[in-house]
Structure 1
């Protein structure tokens, strides 16, 4: 759990972030080490909100329900941002009914506690990260199902939802980190701005617009990009492919 009081006149607003590696800020490295991400930028836009980042890299929806939700409720947050689900789409045990029940419980519990909740549905993944055709179609099907669940929960509980695929500039190369899985500094800034806009429509005062001017981060060089591809990208594809390949083959057989 990481608590941060943004260096700005505080409004007394309590902001909690729940979810996976995007919530952690991966993709937006800072000069001193570690990650920044959208969360501090959003807290600053909200006038110096007291931020607690509960997100954990690799988290799935069930993990948010079991571990992050109780911690969030203890904070009594005014605003909660929930970004989770992509890790579920890449696993062999993907179960829309269970995920819907878990998402509904997380969001419903936060809303019942008086929290303004913002979540997000996901972009067209293959426009950022290229995959072989069968894997691309399998993942696209899973993401579409996840987005339907997120839309359903947002409507049911009348919470805000950011459509990442509709965020201006999200499909530019500059918006993505070297791994093409996480937003870059610019991508996190775009995300923070989009979340702030959603909060504004739900009555939360946004004190200033999130700047899209990138400054203060570390930019990976060509060697770092090749290093990621060889040592992380290919192994990741093999691991996730092992989960998605059986599903992709089953889908091909159904169409045959």
Structure 2
């Protein structure tokens, strides 16, 4: 048995920071819920949440990972990528190298990794096809990299990009991009089930039923009129010019019957990214 209380570090963006699961004084989220049920039942786990709303893979690699390594966790969750897809600077190769480095550094120190694939934001927001398809390609690429690295580092991985997860409105908050309380509880419960089988979690785990009512139509409309407007404006400043260009390319290729070329281009970029992080490719060098 370990001589210290189990340590759990959470890295990532707003999903792991708890956005969508409000409590008095701020956000809670799936990672904090899960932390309450880790350990041997006698000594509570030590939990540090390094996740920051809006974080991209670069933020996780350069800011969060060094702090997490210093904490020396037994379990570390690394869930990031959606914000990368929403930036004009998106580069699946650079994303793969950064995430590989984060996973390598934590795994080398004995941490069991928790990962998850995520639905693409275009589908969640219900964007029209020419706008949604470029984002879908990006998120598929991100998920493919996450799958590859999860296998490489023997991570506990959740599949949360399936159609049933996306379609269940009861799981989502008013913004349709973050889980609501039920969604956060579901993620925590699923990870708990996997960890319990390894003797790292105790008890029945966090319940999936929310303690607060889900957002109603008026709350959703209020979010869209206030915080939602600001969120869209911030993202559009960076992404919109490129997204409009990508949408134009989608329409032109569709009109010419050459849409497959866009998929092939994305597949080539993904193939190169995966080649860099598969066991036969170069390993990322763990820092410090």
The runs of 5 or more residues in structure 1 that have no matched partner are: 1-10
Aligned match of 2:90: 94
Answer yes or no: is the 8 Å Cα contact 1:167–1:194 preserved in 2: no
Q: Which moved more, 1:14-23 or 1:193-202?
A: 193-202
Secondary structure of 1:162's match? Answer: strand
Please give the per-residue CA displacement for 1:212-238, whole angstroms capped at 9, x wherever unaligned. 1211x4755544322211233345445
Aligned match of 1:21: 14
Answer yes or no: is the 8 Å Cα contact 1:91–1:244 preserved in 2: no
Q: What is the TM-score when the length of structure 1 is the normalising length? A: 0.86
Superposed displacement of residue 155, structure 1: 1.7
Asked if residue 111 in structure 1 is aligned to residue 103 in structure 2, the reply is no
Question: For 2:220, which of 206, 220, 225 is the aligned residue?
Answer: 225
Answer yes or no: is the 8 Å Cα contact 1:135–1:241 preserved in 2: no
Asked if residue 34 in structure 1 is aligned to residue 34 in structure 2, the reply is no
Distance across 1 between alignment mates of 2:93 and 2:50: 25
Give the structure with higher Rg (CA): 2
**Large movers: runs of 4+ above 6 Å:** none
Describe the shift of the 1:205–1:234 C-alpha distance in structure 2 as closer, same or farther (beyond 3 A): closer
Aligned match of 2:74: 78
RMSD between aligned residues? 2.3
Describe the shift of the 1:225–1:167 C-alpha distance in structure 2 as closer, same or farther (beyond 3 A): closer
Asked if residue 182 in structure 1 is aligned to residue 178 in structure 2, the reply is yes
Secondary structure of 2:167's match? Answer: coil
Aligned match of 2:137: 141
Describe the shift of the 1:244–1:195 C-alpha distance in structure 2 as closer, same or farther (beyond 3 A): farther
Aligned match of 2:240: 241
Q: What is the TM-score when the length of structure 2 is the normalising length? A: 0.77
Answer yes or no: is the 8 Å Cα contact 1:111–1:117 preserved in 2: yes
Answer yes or no: is the 8 Å Cα contact 2:173–2:214 preserved in 1: no
